[in-house]
Amino acid sequence: MMKTGIIVLGQHADSAGENAVAERCAEYLMGNRRKNVNIAFHHGEPSSDEVMERMNMDGIDTFVILPLSISEGRMTVWEMPKKLGLPDNCGSWRIMNGKDVATRFATALGKNDAVADELIEREGTPDDNTSILLISYGSKNRECSDTARFYASRLELAGWRTTTAYCHHGRTVQDAITDFKKQGTKHIRVIPLFIAFDGPSAEQARRELDSSVLKVEYSEPISNLESFYKVLDSKVPEGW
């Protein structure tokens, strides 16, 4: 009989924000009676490969891995699975301690209507004097920009003026600032399409925004939404 387990997989253990999201996710899953839930990180401790090995030594032979990521990219498709002994995020098994183990590497959040609905509700009534800037980390993978544009378009349908920017690989934060100034926009609200809006890329974006002549306010990252955790829980099979 299989013994199942769940790995909540963050990217950076040195990120206080990512740690908080990972802990909230684990608590949410355990609150839904999920069993054998463990937190791990791709970079830092507890390391994902070591956590998986320890769980297997405890008898777990079937894993669901939940990457804490907003959109698919090199990290979720290749790098995170490789560290866990999988060829990519489609890998479904590997050998551990001389025996086969089954794996299910879940997809990133991506485009989700329930998350968009809650985001719209959180941001409230559109303000004619405010434009929304959705910031993503960025990726060469189209999924990242497609995801950002999805949430931007949903906010636009709700009446907000929106634009997107990326810390890497795409339209920059400085590009967005320049366009805001040309349009005469003075007040912007930033929505981070991040697990946690900290780390070097986020800090650079903040510096650029805060040094502009614009009035800038920051919403919580999209991972602050309750629906984000419901989506993660939905990726775990019933009965686990």
Report which residue type is found at 151: Y
| Residues 134-156 pLDDT 10s | 999 998 889 999 999 999 999 99
Instruction: Kindly give, in sequence order, each residue whose CB lies less than 8 Å from that of residue 6, ignoring residues fewer than 6 positions away.
Output: 29, 34, 35, 36, 37, 38, 63, 64, 65, 66, 236, 240
The secondary structure element, H or E, covering residue 217 is strand 215-218
Q: Is 24 helix (H, G, I), strand (E, B) or coil?
A: helix
Separation of alpha carbons 126 and 168, rounded Å? 29
pLDDT at 239: 86
| Residues 197-211 pLDDT 10s | 999 999 999 999 999
DSSP conformational letter for 76: I
pLDDT at 141: 84
| Residues 65-113 pLDDT 10s | 999 999 999 999 999 999 999 999 998 999 999 999 999 999 999 999 9
Residue 44's pLDDT band (boundaries 50, 70, 90)? Answer: very high
**Cβ pair 72, 136 in contact under 8 A:** no
| Residues 152-195 pLDDT 10s | 999 999 999 999 999 999 999 999 999 999 999 999 999 999 99
Number of alpha helices (DSSP H) and beta strands (DSSP E) in the chain = 9, 9
